[in-house]
Amino acid sequence: MNLRRIATLVGAMLLGVLVLGLDVLRYSVDLDVAWLLVVRDLMVIAAFVLLYLFLELSEKERSDNTIRGIGLILIAGIVVSIATAVVALATDVEPFEAKEGILLPLSFRTIFVATFINFSLGLFSILLFRLLHGLVLYKRKRGTKRNLTIQIVLMLCASVSTIGVPPLERNILTTILFGLAVASMVLNSFRLSWIVYLTRREKVFSLVYGFLLFGLLTVLNIITRGGIMNQLLLYHSSPMREFSSLALIFGNIYFGMAFVSTLFHLPTAEEFERKTTEITSLHNLGKLINQVFDFNELVDTVTSMTLQVCEAKACWLEILQGRDEGSERRPRTIKGMSLRTMTGGRLVHVVGMKNIGMSDIERLLPFSEHTLRDSVIEERKPVVVDSLSKDRRVKASAQGAKPTGSLVVVPLVSHSEMIGILYATKETEFGFFKDDVDVISAFADQATIALENSRLIDQSLERERLTQEMMLAQEMQKRLLPQSLPRFPVLQLDAVSTPAFEVGGDYYDFALLKNDRLGIVVGDVSGKGVSAAFYMSEVKGIFQSLSKICSSPRELLLAANEALAGSIDRRSFVSLIYSVVDLNTGTLTLSRAGHCPMILAKASGVTYIRPSGMGLGLCEGAAFADAIEEQVIRLDPGDVCVFYTDGVTEARRGEDEFGYERLLECIKVTRVLNATEVKNRILDTVKSFSSNEIIQDDLTLVVLKWHGSDAHAQSVVPVNGGSNE
């Protein structure tokens, strides 16, 4: 309790005590001072104003539970009535003595009873008025607050007009203001908007509470307008007696009209509850569109809400898929899902059911026959079956009896594509009306969006997962290529490999062999992407194992073909070029298995070195061995050897290819440069030709620059000279 609330309550209590003390003093001492009565009335009014402020400060927030508020007022009225009756009867209040229009108590007991009754009834009147104030302003319109303010002003003026007037004398002004206040009450009592929004159960409570309050307030109005109760109220405070009387009359009129209005609204309560349920269900489903993406949860929610929206007995949801459609439209696996094939070859996934089984669905709409389901798919419009027993599109059961009741079928259409069907059934015939179909159709539209969002989210997550896996595969494939290049005094090497996609089928590698020899291999698996990458890793294993045991390039190719023949797909093959360089003599031995020819750049010119051969995996045995040749070349200082894949020569600019001639010309003018510069110049020329377009094929390039030396080849020193992009 904060300080303001404490201050208002303490202030009201102090003023009440002062008024009681003043009454006791007037009884004990004969004080005939007119202004003293005016001050006393003002003190009473101030005390009740503070009580009103205390109640306002005590209310933390506005409550929307109208029936609960009315029930509490009814309880408060009963308590006040019983308490005042008990006090009045138990104390045996003596009558007042009238003197010049003023009531004089005959005992202290009468003073205390008058004070108790006045404050009890005054507090109840304030509580009642606050409730009525909130009810009148419920769903207010432009002039509602103005009309209520006029009524409040008239009530206050009628009450204040009695100040200084003897209690037993009523002036004409008070009577006029009283009548105008009652007239404004009648006008404001037509403000009953809150009744419309009550449920059927709340309307029943409203009827009971309204009837009881009307009776209670009628009794209070009668007993406070005459007899000893009227004298007790007039003696204590004429202004508060007028205010309490007006508040009771306002409550009497308002709850009388509320009772009659609720009685007329009761038949529509069920329909209102249904509309409220529809709106709530649509709202909840709308939230699910943005919050829930789990397919199983969505299906369960859609079927459950369908039952609520149209008060159906049973419902089920089907997802459609054609035989030729891809897996994108295939629903996620859920518990209890059943798959059936319709006439016409479409697949029906029964993904959700409520209060019905697959056997019942099969009997109602057989999947193997042309039924109502096919009509909805063809027309893509909602269909209502008013009588299942009379509709020809509904089949009879095995016992020969047709099902009874009614059925509504609503298609789920997304972007002109029908993705599913929503069904709802009732036990009664003619159970679905136009507004039912409209609501279910709107609900089906929302359900379609929710289901499509779920599918798209699943696809997005799947793509993200595949992307992450491809990035991991790309990183792993990079590790299959040499992480550093061998370095020797007699030659310089540089290389690069760039896949067209995340992973590719190009491959290059080096092997330090016996007798100071260096093996260089460049390969290209037919195709691109993941399948090519798998074969590429297999080729690496084959090369690393065979290069240690095969004495010549031709022997290695023969052994590699034999190893690949049993595992490679018949539609795939591997092109390979393998050379062995003697680091002491500068002799290069070369064999080629259907790969791009090596380019040799000498001072005398640039030529292709192309020993015959066919791709690995194309054939086996003698045919392959006869096709493979081996060629020996003597390298001179300054010679450049370029190994590459067809990603270089087949780089495109529109319909034009980079080609072999442009590659020869580029190498011819760069022969005098070192290996790294030659490699970079070739790459820049290819990129410039293709106008930086996305490469369509894997690209690999290995450049060897022979320096020559009389010294023996030294140990291999790994350095970070290669690049795998």
Residue 679: φ, ψ to 5° = -60, -50
Q: Tell me the HSE value of 27 on the side-chain side, using a 13 A CA sphere.
A: 20
Of 499 and 721, which is predicted with more confidence?
499
For 255, counting Cβ atoms within 10 Å of its Cβ (0-12 exposed, 13-18 middle, 19+ buried), the class is buried
pLDDT in tens, 608-620: 999 999 998 888 8
Pseudo-torsion of CA 360, 365, 368, 374, nearest 10°? Answer: -150
Q: Are residues 1 and 111 in the same domain?
A: no
- Residue 395: DSSP 8-state: P
Q: Are residues 245 and 157 in the same domain?
A: yes
**Per-residue pLDDT band at 643 (split at 50, 70, 90):** very high
Nearest to 511 by CA among 549, 544, 537, 484: 544
Least confident of 189-193, 526-530, 710-714: 710-714
pLDDT in tens, 294-334: 677 778 878 887 887 777 889 998 888 764 444 444 444 44
Average pLDDT (430-446) is 80
Cα(123)–Cα(623) distance, integer angstroms: 114
**Per-residue pLDDT band at 714 (split at 50, 70, 90):** very low
Domain end (from 10, 32, 61): 61
Rounded to the nearest integer, the mean pLDDT of the chain is: 81
Q: Are residues 347 and 490 in the same domain?
A: no
State residue 570's pLDDT score: 74
Cα(25)–Cα(560) distance, integer angstroms: 125
Q: Are residues 229 and 339 in the same domain?
A: no
Domain span holding position 537: 482-724
State residue 21's pLDDT score: 80
Interacting residues of 325 by C-beta distance below 8 A, sequence separation 6+: none
Q: What is the CATH number of the domain that holds 694?
A: 3.60.40.10
Q: Are residues 449 and 493 in the same domain?
A: no
Average pLDDT (339-346) is 64
Q: Which of 89-98, 266-275, 496-505 has the highest mean pLDDT?
A: 496-505
Q: Are residues 255 and 115 in the same domain?
A: yes
| Number of neighbouring beta carbons within 10 Å of residue 115 | 21
pLDDT in tens, 491-545: 999 999 888 776 677 889 999 998 899 999 998 888 766 777 777 888 888 888 8
For 159, counting Cβ atoms within 10 Å of its Cβ (0-12 exposed, 13-18 middle, 19+ buried), the class is buried
Q: C-alpha angle with apex 376: 375 to 381, nearest 5 degrees? A: 130
State residue 277's pLDDT score: 67
Tell me whether residue 469 is in a domain. no
Tokens for 590, please give them: 């070369």
State residue 401's pLDDT score: 59
Q: Are residues 54 and 74 in the same domain?
A: no
The span from the first CA to the last CA of the chain, in angstroms, equals 72
pLDDT in tens, 406-427: 999 999 888 778 888 999 999 8
pLDDT in tens, 346-405: 788 888 889 888 888 888 888 777 788 888 888 888 888 888 888 877 765 544 556 778
SS3 of residue 685 by DSSP: helix
Tell me whether residue 23 is in a domain. yes
Q: Are residues 14 and 148 in the same domain?
A: no
Tell me whether residue 635 is in a domain. yes
Cα(331)–Cα(294) distance, integer angstroms: 11
State residue 273's pLDDT score: 66
Average pLDDT (21-32) is 72
3-state helix, strand, coil in the chain (%, to 5): 55, 20, 30
Judged against a pLDDT cut of 90, whether residue 637 lies above it is answered with yes
Nearest to 423 by CA among 344, 360, 330, 370: 360
State residue 329's pLDDT score: 46
Tell me whether residue 577 is in a domain. yes
Domain end (from 61, 80, 100): 61
Q: What is the CATH number of the domain that holds 303?
A: 3.30.450.40
CB contact at 8 A, 651 and 666: no
Distances (CA, A) of 345 to 117, 323, 597: 86, 6, 53
Q: Are residues 93 and 47 in the same domain?
A: no
Of 268 and 260, which is predicted with more confidence?
260
Tell me whether residue 618 is in a domain. yes
Tell me whether residue 281 is in a domain. no
Judged against a pLDDT cut of 60, whether residue 217 lies above it is answered with yes
Average pLDDT (662-683) is 93
Judged against a pLDDT cut of 50, whether residue 282 lies above it is answered with yes
pLDDT in tens, 98-111: 676 677 777 777 77
Place of tokens 């779920």: 454
State residue 619's pLDDT score: 87
Structural domain tally of the chain?
4
The kind and range of the H/E element at 609 are strand 605-609
Q: Are residues 78 and 53 in the same domain?
A: no
CB contact at 8 A, 702 and 643: yes
Q: Are residues 422 and 446 in the same domain?
A: yes
SS3 of residue 531 by DSSP: helix
Tokens for 62, please give them: 């506005």
Domain end (from 13, 41, 61): 61
Q: C-alpha angle with apex 217: 211 to 220, nearest 5 degrees? A: 145
**Per-residue pLDDT band at 444 (split at 50, 70, 90):** confident
State residue 332's pLDDT score: 46
Q: Are residues 437 and 530 in the same domain?
A: no
Tell me whether residue 382 is in a domain. yes
Interacting residues of 243 by C-beta distance below 8 A, sequence separation 6+: 48, 122, 125, 155, 156, 158, 159
Tell me whether residue 401 is in a domain. yes
State residue 577's pLDDT score: 94
Of 188 and 235, which is predicted with more confidence?
188
